[in-house]
Amino acid sequence: MNLKKLPKIELHRHLELSVRHSTIKALAPKIGLKADTDEEFAKNFLITEPMKDLGSVLNKFLDTQKLFYTEDIIEQITYEICEDAHNEGIKILELRYAPTFLVMGHDKINFEQAHLAIVRGMKKAEKDFNMAVGLLCIIQRISPLDVAESVTDFAIDHKDTFIGLDLADNEEGFDSKPFSSFFMRAKKAGLGITVHAGESDVPNAPRYILEAIEHLGATRIGHGVQCYRDESVIKQLIDKKIPLELCPTSNWLTGAIKDKDNHPFKTLMDKGVLTTISSDDPGIFNIDLTHEYELLQNKYGLTEKDFEHCNKIAFDHSFISLDKKTAAWS
Ligand SMILES: [Zn+2]
């Protein structure tokens, strides 16, 4: 089976952390970051060994964010991300970004300008590569509530170009419940809801998954990998037909899963949890989606049939309109 050519659907990829490496190398010197040698590039822009905790991973993301300093660059980066995804066999791609994170420190770019640049890059790529791309808007858990509210308004105001709303960043110490009313409002406005929950290996992680479903109305969970520790959470995910956007390499690099050879993906799939396969941050993790398929095939014995099963789940639960995703998938 040629895994690179296998048609794929990816539901979980962060725009800010999927920048093409040659583009990083070209842009880095312009913002005072060194990427001349492989060592410098890896030191500033890659995470290839497990980090101690999710907080330190998030800090490492900041250098990449500095690259997004003009609208033209944002458009170019978005187009290239879609092109790279196309070259990985991805026909349907959900790309997410946090407006607050993207424009941070870029005083000349506001949410609107950044978003329109992303939409331009995305639309051009959709046409050039005959693929379907949908954008998810992220609220950062660390945001004050008034900022989170303004991001919610921004997402709803642009529901013609956003397909959904997400909550991301470090879960521990950042309760999701205060964001409930924003997510309910977005849901009512027609946006899909997916939430990063149950990602890190912390004591309450399985409970965070249930809170995302109950309080934020999530119909998909970003990661959710820690559910493997609690059979009652697994049962609820199965009963409620809530798929997980699983990202195996990401889980290992962020320390969410300690043992590289022991990811619960297949166990969860075999139990009947709706599992989908994503790369999360392919640029910074130095991987692509094909890498994740290879890992699942080689280490856990997933077959072509299993991949078809996961992609069928991803198709059914993608927030992209049925017409658009059908056209790209057939
Ligand atoms: Zn993520």
Side-chain-side CA neighbours of residue 279 (13 Å): 30
End-to-end CA distance of the chain: 20
Instruction: Report the pLDDT value the prediction gives residue 57, as an integer from 0 to 100.
Output: 62
CA of residue 160 to ligand 1 center, whole Å = 23
CA of residue 107 to ligand 1 center, whole Å = 25
Neighbours of 217 (CB within 10 A): 17
| pLDDT band per the 50, 70, 90 thresholds, residue 56 | low
Instruction: Report the pLDDT value the prediction gives residue 169, as an integer from 0 to 100.
Output: 86
Instruction: Report the pLDDT value the prediction gives residue 62, as an integer from 0 to 100.
Output: 85
Instruction: Report the pLDDT value the prediction gives residue 138, as an integer from 0 to 100.
Output: 98
| pLDDT band per the 50, 70, 90 thresholds, residue 53 | low
On the question of pLDDT at 55 being above 70, the answer is: no
Minimum mean pLDDT range among 45-49, 51-55, 180-184: 51-55
Q: Report the distance separating Cα 194 and Cα 245, nearest Å.
A: 9
**Mean per-residue pLDDT of the chain:** 95
Tens-digit pLDDT profile for residues 251-286: 999 889 999 889 999 999 999 999 999 999 999 999
What are 10's strand-pairing partners? 93
CA of residue 281 to ligand 1 center, whole Å = 7
Instruction: Report the pLDDT value the prediction gives residue 54, as an integer from 0 to 100.
Output: 62
Stated length of the chain = 330
**Contact predicate 70/27, CB 8 Å:** no
CA of residue 253 to ligand 1 center, whole Å = 12
What are 276's strand-pairing partners? 245
Side-chain-side CA neighbours of residue 155 (13 Å): 35
CA of residue 19 to ligand 1 center, whole Å = 15
CATH number of 8-329, picked from 3.40.1190.10, 3.20.20.140, 1.10.540.10, 1.10.357.10: 3.20.20.140
Instruction: Report the pLDDT value the prediction gives residue 256, as an integer from 0 to 100.
Output: 93
| pLDDT band per the 50, 70, 90 thresholds, residue 319 | very high
CA of residue 2 to ligand 1 center, whole Å = 27
Q: Report the distance separating Cα 280 and Cα 95, nearest Å.
A: 10
Dihedral sign for Cα atoms in the order 89, 261, 42, 58: positive
CA of residue 128 to ligand 1 center, whole Å = 27
3-state secondary structure string, the chain?
Answer: CCCCCCCEEEEEEEHHHCCCHHHHHHHHHHHCCCCCCHHHHHHHHCCCCCCCCHHHHHHHHHHHHCCCCCHHHHHHHHHHHHHHHHHCCEEEEEEEECHHHHHCCCCCCCHHHHHHHHHHHHHHHHHHHCCEEEEEEEEECCCCHHHHHHHHHHHHHCCCCCCEEEEECCCCCCCCHHHHHHHHHHHHCCCEEEEEECCCCCCCHHHHHHHHHHHHCCCEEEECHHHHHCHHHHHHHHHCCCCEEECHHHHHHCCCCCCCCCCCHHHHHHHCCCEEECCECHHHHCCCHHHHHHHHHHHHCCCHHHHHHHHHHHHHHCCCCHHHHHHHHC
Tens-digit pLDDT profile for residues 96-119: 999 999 999 999 999 999 999 999
CA of residue 197 to ligand 1 center, whole Å = 10
Q: Report the distance separating Cα 290 and Cα 270, nearest Å.
A: 21
Instruction: Report the pLDDT value the prediction gives residue 34, as an integer from 0 to 100.
Output: 86
pTM for this prediction: 0.96
| pLDDT band per the 50, 70, 90 thresholds, residue 59 | low
Tens-digit pLDDT profile for residues 10-47: 999 999 999 999 999 999 999 888 888 999 888 888 99
Tens-digit pLDDT profile for residues 190-232: 999 999 999 999 999 999 999 999 999 999 999 999 999 999 9
CA of residue 110 to ligand 1 center, whole Å = 23
On the question of pLDDT at 58 being above 70, the answer is: no
CA of residue 53 to ligand 1 center, whole Å = 15
Instruction: Report the pLDDT value the prediction gives residue 227, as an integer from 0 to 100.
Output: 98
Instruction: Report the pLDDT value the prediction gives residue 173, as an integer from 0 to 100.
Output: 82
Tens-digit pLDDT profile for residues 67-89: 999 999 999 999 999 999 999 99
